[in-house]
Amino acid sequence: MGMQYDVKQGHLNQSGFFVLGRNRVKGVSFFGAGGDLVLFDTTTAPVTSGVTYERAATLVTVTKTAHGLNTGDVVGIHFNLASGVGATDGNYPITRLTANTFTLTDINSGTVANTATAVYVSGANRWLMTYETQATDEYQNAPIVPGEGVLAVNGIYAYMVDIDSAQIYYG
């Protein structure tokens, strides 16, 4: 396979869309101390307001008023850390408990209090990748994206917390 010559670049200084439509994330770079950069494959901004979670062993219970999800739906979710621990980001089928809560099974085990927050997408949308920086990180970060890149079929959205700027290379 030859080299791809039509790679493009997107830049953001706050959460938002890099691009809509089918693309592959070829590279990522970002700057920010003690922050999170989370990429979602989505056509809509993630649900960010009023989402909390707790984890007991592998069972994660997510609370969001009127979440509108049903058992079997899949969420792409990022779990913010609470006291240095969190659930495992990823794409998970859920079980609806009530109109305001659902559960999922984490691939890892641990304990997180119900004060932790989360961000998610659902439907045909999904989580792609998460990068976290330490409070003392004052460098431009450019992790390697392997192979031909990570496929996004809907669009590439960046959820940014304490990240000053982020760039992706896509095509």
**DSSP-based three-state secondary structure for 127:** strand
Q: What is the pLDDT along the chain (171 residues), one digit of tens a residue?
A: 566 678 999 999 999 999 999 999 999 999 988 889 999 999 999 999 999 999 999 999 999 999 999 999 999 999 998 777 889 999 999 999 999 999 999 999 988 876 789 999 999 999 999 998 888 887 888 998 989 999 999 999 999 999 999 999 999
Query: Considering just the CA atoms, what is the radius of gyration of the chain in Å?
Result: 16
The structure tokens listed for 163 are 């990240």
Predicted pLDDT of residue 125: 97
Nearby residues of 5 by Cβ (< 8 Å), 6 or more positions away: none
Q: How far is it between the farthest Cα atoms of the chain?
A: 51
Predicted pLDDT of residue 120: 97
Predicted pLDDT of residue 1: 52
- DSSP β-bridge partners for residue 61: 54, 103
Predicted pLDDT of residue 4: 65
pTM of the model: 0.93
